[in-house]
Structure 1
Amino acid sequence: MAFDFGDTVLNEPVNLWLQWDKNENTRKTISDLAGCKNTDELHKLFDKRIAFGTAGLRAAMGAGFARMNDLTIIQTTQGLVKHAIEAVPDCKSRGVVVGFDSRHNSSRFAELTVSILLREGVKVYYFSSIVPTPYVPYTVKKYQCAAGIMITASHNPKEDNGYKVYWQNGAQITSPTDKNIANLIELNLEPWSSSWDTSIMSTSSLLECPLDDINNLYMKDVQQYCIYRDINKSSQVKFTYTPMHGVGLQYAQRAFKAFDLSPFIAVPQQSEPDPEFPTVKFPNPEEGKSALHLAMQTARDNDCKIILANDPDADRIAMAEWEPKGTVKQTEMWKVFTGNETGALLGWWAFHCYKQKNNRSESDKSVYMLASTVSSKILRSIGNKEGFKFEETLTGFKWMGNRSYQLQEEGHTVLFAFEEAIGFMFGSNVLDKDGISACAILAEMACYLATKGVTMKDKLYEIYKEYGFHYSINSYYICHHQPTIQKIFQGMRTYENGGYPSTCGKYKITGIRDLTTGYDSHQPDNKAILPTSKSSQMITFTFANGAVATLRTSGTEPKIKYYTEICADPSLSDYDAIKEDLRQLVKDLITNFLKPDEYKLQSKI
């Protein structure tokens, strides 16, 4: 029976859904909505198809073409396998890696993906139990596979899931690969006759589980970053760890063992995988103390001075350190490091280790470090003095991973890359952020510094004193209404006499880069050097006081994010005054450009 809503926009997609969907639950959802002609809800689920974009898909789970579900997974995999076979001549023999996290439906989505690949004659390396996201790009690179797929929504709310794609170089896909896959998805929307049938997984000779081998290989490769094993063995530094209800515990334990570190104390309430994430409002350690309160309690109870926290798919890591002030019951005495601060520490550590291992004291122009354009420029400051090269990329590890691969192909060494959203790539075993290796590396750094009587915070300020003080304020506002977001950013472009602003409150603007329109006032022809995209909003302002502020939309969440940083000469010691200057600038930025009261934006909780 075909439904007619008197609405040509809805008629075709709803009826196609009911024709194609074989999942009883999602099919019933749409059938019920159609039966009672709830067109308002149906428009939400069918007006805009889930977009294949930033390295794949990410959205709320549910029925309809706008959600993550069995049918949209099938459609996506059909398009992806078609493109992979066309673009990589030996794709079938090289194979595709598939992994999944502990979210609702992740294993089901993975099984549908694997089955379609197998039926197309593609060898599949399938992790049959939950793994960290970094294991998929690591395996692609180690086994020289044609592609990799990870079913995860990383740190998103429990309602979400995702489908993350890596290409044959082990990095996340970029254009034109993403566009080519998206085009073939559109040409293969109708499920193939066997796409719903996963029984092939029990009979195919093309299916292999790489978990034991990859565990051994990964932990062996991680050990190349361990240079103070004797210190690790004897260290009295105690660590608390949380996987934030995700996949990380057993893998972080293995990484600690690979470094000969004493076992950490895991947060008991968050150690087991749980897709409901019952103890946190948002399963994201980047949220700071609100997400780490149980870890702080566990650390206090066990006299641990360092907290390490992975997000649910263990590709990110947050760190906190007890500050020896006040009483041990005061959780406000924990210093939660921002992604930029942890990036500064790991960047310093990467070059320190490089010099130790290579017995070098001179600069090395073949060595690189990378950071995204919205992240701190502390690596550039360190590189200017130490002699290694620094490069800035667009936001996201799909850019840093692919650029790292290019640099390696040219014969260079990439020591480290990071983004402020607590994502760190130490070395190049994994061309993506990796919270498992970073967990052991941060622990070793803490043990080493303890032998010098130095805390992590002490070392951070030593870095500032040597290379320049870098202070950042980053946050976001939530906005679900795209026309409002468009209006906010267009308001910045027409702020002053129909053009960009020359001031923000009392602060003079000396440069503007708009990577949505391709404008950059710093360039002689006013054309941006970094790639531009009309589908996302991103404007960067440079100020006369040395501050830089970037406002952008998120590719995976309904957020308008702002990133600000002020840099000061190492000779300046009045850090409080510098911080206050940036705080005031941020207030002016929010008041004049984002206008949260006028646009009814929801602030970060």
Structure 2
Amino acid sequence: MHINQNILNKVNEWLTPVFDKETQESITEMMTSSPKELEDCFYKNLEFGTGGMRGIMGVGTNRINQYTLGKNTQGISDYLKKSFVGEELKVVIAYDCRHNSDTLAKVVADVFSANGIKVYLFSELRPTPELSFAVRYLKCHAGIVLTASHNPPEYNGYKVYWQDGGQLVPPQDSEIIQIIEDLKYSDILFEANETLIEYIDNDIDEAFWQSTVENASFNTPQLAKDNLKIVYTSLHGTSIKAIPSVLAKAGYNDVNIVAEQSVPDGNFPTVKSPNPEEPEALTMALNLADEINADIVVGTDPDSDRLGVAVRDLDGKMKLLNGNQSMVIMTAFLLEQWKRTDKLTGNEFIGSTIVSTPLMLELASAYGVECKVGLTGFKWIAKFIKDFPNQQFIGGGEESFGFMVGDAVRDKDAVAAILLVCEIAAQAKASGSSLFKELINLSLDFGFYKEHLISITKKGIEGANEIKQMMINLRENPLKEINEQRVVCIEDYQSSKALDLMSNETYDITIPKSNVLIYYLEDGSKICARPSGTEPKIKFYFSVNTELPSIEEYNIIEQELDNKIKNIITEMNLI
């Protein structure tokens, strides 16, 4: 097959002595045996997306390896020196259970130390939220975690955190990316200064656990805690290093761990995908819950930033909550706790995203607080905390099964969120209710909102072009009517413009630019199209709503909303 000359130029660079013998041999073999794979390895440079940089491990500019991560780290080192002149620079590094995460973390530590930067390196795998906590606790200038979150086993990734404990946001992100792009691979300093690398573990763990218990506990009586039967799974990931200890420290003693999934393993052998968004991932936990008649199931993704929750429904059967449902039940509980303790002054806010449920806006309004809405990704919620220091952040989340309790951790945090959701469940059960009934009560008060997500995977160069064309079609040939409902407004976050189709007026969108398109229908439905920033996928988010007259009609109304979503998906030819 013919390979583009630009790709060949990159390949030839990687065949020079700057790169080790093993890398060169792998490339030489691919040139004869797998030219298409070679093309995919080099056709672009891995980019920073919604949650940092993620990619398949291997050789090449479009892969995660010691050279692509080394170049990132060299660029960040140069930027830190430029940004904090005269300061003793410090960074902290953590990693997850994935293949090569520990060795890649040491490469990153080596490069920082070779640049004269003090490095705190966790001695073993740790949850991502603990890294965010450690940045501020250790007063570091930056933090790195080696993780690919919930991606398949062949992936790894690199998340960058700044002084505030949040992920990189503008303008630092584009400035750092430019420095990285300007570097040559020969500029990377790989020779470690071991005297600048300090291994950390138990002291940080204890501080993180204590902080979590303080932030996510709300005066639940011990008897209520004792009466809550919990099933927990780490899905072979890092949360096993924190959640059992945090729950025990908080007084929850009936915690039943899914043993087959408790050992960290980058192959994730018991699941198709280690993602609590996928119902299949929690099958073993749900089975255990039925065996022991548990009240609640909680599980995390490999780096412990996402949480999955299942509770007993009105018929006593375990029911998985989606990310929007768990987010609103936690947010409503926090708001009510702040109200009961007279902490609401009108100067507080909660956080959400443009693709999440509109119910968050309703909750904020009811409690007299602001709901700040940003792009997908918790870095934007963390940015709100940094940009508005005179306002207090209560909590917030996004539809992708993430939540943040307070501001001790500046990223989605399944450790604190799981403790919080257990507090809610324990208190509800003690009062004769249940977490599921509390969720229904919110629907009675604010309307029944139902959300759904579909992801369409398109791999490789052709897939990237298909996704690009889908977004072009939605922009250039916008739908006027969906499921017999007129489209009343279209928001285009790429152009920062919104069009009101009823008045034919346009208005500006003040949220930063992003490749996102949202359709609003006359019945209050919302449809969002967004290419993923970290995976070869395009995602479609659906939100529909109606009144819920009574708790007895819950199942009927839910079915009606489910059917509405199915009709929209069918009419848009997405299945």
TM-score for the superposition, normalised by structure 2? 0.93
- Distance of aligned partners of 1:338 and 1:427 in 2 relative to their CA distance in 1, 3 Å threshold: same
Q: What displacement does 1:493 show?
A: 2.2
Amino acid at match of 1:338: N
Query: 3-state SS of the aligned residue for 2:159?
Result: strand
Q: What displacement does 1:154 show?
A: 0.5
Q: What displacement does 1:571 show?
A: 5.5
**Residue pair 2:224, 2:427 contacting (<8 A) in 1 also:** no
> Given the alignment, which residue of 425, 433, 454 partners 1:446?
425
**Per-residue displacement from partner, 1:276-322 (whole Å, max 9, x unpaired)?**
0001011101102x111111122223332211001110011111113
**Per-residue displacement from partner, 1:451-500 (whole Å, max 9, x unpaired)?**
111111111001221233222122222223122222222222232xxxx3
Does residue 339 (structure 1) correspond to residue 320 (structure 2)? The answer is no
> Given the alignment, which residue of 212, 222, 233 partners 2:212?
222
1:551 paired residue number: 529
> Given the alignment, which residue of 85, 100, 103 partners 1:105?
100
> Given the alignment, which residue of 90, 95, 105 partners 2:90?
95
Q: What displacement does 1:507 show?
A: 1.3
CA distance in 2, matches of 1:379, 1:232: 32
Q: What displacement does 1:174 show?
A: 1.3
**Residue pair 2:143, 2:161 contacting (<8 A) in 1 also:** yes
CA distance in 2, matches of 1:393, 1:464: 24
1:11 paired residue number: 8
CA distance in 1, matches of 2:3, 2:256: 61
**Residue pair 1:130, 1:247 contacting (<8 A) in 2 also:** yes
Q: How does 1:112-191 map to 2 (within 5 A)?
A: 112-191=107-186
Q: Where does the alignment leave 5 or more consecutive residues of structure 2 unmatched?
A: none
Q: What displacement does 1:335 show?
A: 0.4
Q: How does 1:142-541 map to 2 (within 5 A)?
A: 142-192=137-187, 194-195=189-190, 197-198=191-192, 200-201=193-194, 204=195, 206-224=196-214, 225-231=216-222, 235-288=226-279, 290-323=280-313, 325=315, 333-356=317-340, 358-359=341-342, 364-407=345-388, 409=389, 411-480=390-459, 481-495=463-477, 500-522=478-500, 525-533=506-514, 536=515, 538-541=516-519
CA distance in 1, matches of 2:425, 2:188: 56
Q: What displacement does 1:524 show?
A: 5.4
Query: 3-state SS of the aligned residue for 2:242?
Result: helix
- Distance of aligned partners of 1:274 and 1:348 in 2 relative to their CA distance in 1, 3 Å threshold: same
CA distance in 2, matches of 1:96, 1:494: 46
Higher relative contact order (CA 8 A, sep 6+): 2
**Residue pair 2:455, 2:537 contacting (<8 A) in 1 also:** yes
Q: What displacement does 1:234 show?
A: 5.2
Query: 3-state SS of the aligned residue for 1:276?
Result: coil
Amino acid at match of 1:300: D
**Residue pair 1:23, 1:70 contacting (<8 A) in 2 also:** no
Query: 3-state SS of the aligned residue for 1:170?
Result: coil
Q: What displacement does 1:527 show?
A: 2.4
CA distance in 2, matches of 1:232, 1:550: 44
CA distance in 1, matches of 2:261, 2:329: 27
- Distance of aligned partners of 1:581 and 1:446 in 2 relative to their CA distance in 1, 3 Å threshold: closer
**Residue pair 1:229, 1:260 contacting (<8 A) in 2 also:** no
Q: Comparing 18-27 with 303-312, which one deviates more in the overlay?
A: 18-27
- Distance of aligned partners of 1:23 and 1:439 in 2 relative to their CA distance in 1, 3 Å threshold: farther
CA distance in 2, matches of 1:7, 1:461: 57
CA distance in 2, matches of 1:232, 1:399: 39
**Residue pair 1:155, 1:283 contacting (<8 A) in 2 also:** yes
CA distance in 1, matches of 2:555, 2:284: 31
Query: 3-state SS of the aligned residue for 1:493?
Result: helix
CA distance in 1, matches of 2:284, 2:513: 42
Amino acid at match of 1:121: G
CA distance in 1, matches of 2:476, 2:266: 45
- Distance of aligned partners of 1:249 and 1:90 in 2 relative to their CA distance in 1, 3 Å threshold: farther
Query: 3-state SS of the aligned residue for 1:286?
Result: coil
- Distance of aligned partners of 1:223 and 1:80 in 2 relative to their CA distance in 1, 3 Å threshold: same
TM-score for the superposition, normalised by structure 1? 0.88
Q: What displacement does 1:230 show?
A: 3.0
**Residue pair 1:100, 1:151 contacting (<8 A) in 2 also:** yes
**Residue pair 1:515, 1:532 contacting (<8 A) in 2 also:** yes
Query: 3-state SS of the aligned residue for 2:16?
Result: helix
CA distance in 2, matches of 1:286, 1:365: 34
Q: What displacement does 1:151 show?
A: 0.4
Q: Where does the alignment leave 5 or more consecutive residues of structure 1 unmatched?
A: 327-332, 598-605
**Residue pair 1:232, 1:444 contacting (<8 A) in 2 also:** no
Q: What displacement does 1:237 show?
A: 1.2
Amino acid at match of 2:222: I
Query: 3-state SS of the aligned residue for 1:521?
Result: strand
- Distance of aligned partners of 1:456 and 1:23 in 2 relative to their CA distance in 1, 3 Å threshold: farther
Q: Comparing 347-356 with 519-528, which one deviates more in the overlay?
A: 519-528
Q: What displacement does 1:37 show?
A: 7.0
**Residue pair 2:220, 2:426 contacting (<8 A) in 1 also:** no
Query: 3-state SS of the aligned residue for 2:185?
Result: coil
Q: What displacement does 1:124 show?
A: 1.1
Q: What displacement does 1:269 show?
A: 0.7
**Per-residue displacement from partner, 1:547-566 (whole Å, max 9, x unpaired)?**
11111111111222111212
Query: 3-state SS of the aligned residue for 1:73?
Result: helix
- Distance of aligned partners of 1:6 and 1:164 in 2 relative to their CA distance in 1, 3 Å threshold: closer
**Per-residue displacement from partner, 1:6-32 (whole Å, max 9, x unpaired)?**
963243211221225655543321121
Same amino acid, percent of matched pairs = 28
- Distance of aligned partners of 1:532 and 1:578 in 2 relative to their CA distance in 1, 3 Å threshold: farther
Q: What displacement does 1:79 show?
A: 1.0
**Residue pair 1:369, 1:388 contacting (<8 A) in 2 also:** yes
- Distance of aligned partners of 1:7 and 1:227 in 2 relative to their CA distance in 1, 3 Å threshold: closer
CA distance in 2, matches of 1:587, 1:28: 50
CA distance in 1, matches of 2:401, 2:484: 32
Amino acid at match of 1:244: L
2:541 paired residue number: 563
Query: 3-state SS of the aligned residue for 1:488?
Result: helix
CA distance in 1, matches of 2:456, 2:378: 23
Q: What displacement does 1:150 show?
A: 0.5
Q: What displacement does 1:381 show?
A: 1.1
CA distance in 2, matches of 1:579, 1:510: 24
**Per-residue displacement from partner, 1:175-202 (whole Å, max 9, x unpaired)?**
221221111112223234741x45x33x
Amino acid at match of 1:526: Y
Q: How does 1:56-75 map to 2 (within 5 A)?
A: 56-75=52-71
CA distance in 1, matches of 2:535, 2:188: 34
Amino acid at match of 1:462: N
1:32 paired residue number: 29
**Per-residue displacement from partner, 1:16-61 (whole Å, max 9, x unpaired)?**
2122565554332112123x27533322111211123435310011
Amino acid at match of 2:456: Y
Query: 3-state SS of the aligned residue for 1:19?
Result: coil
Q: What displacement does 1:531 show?
A: 1.6
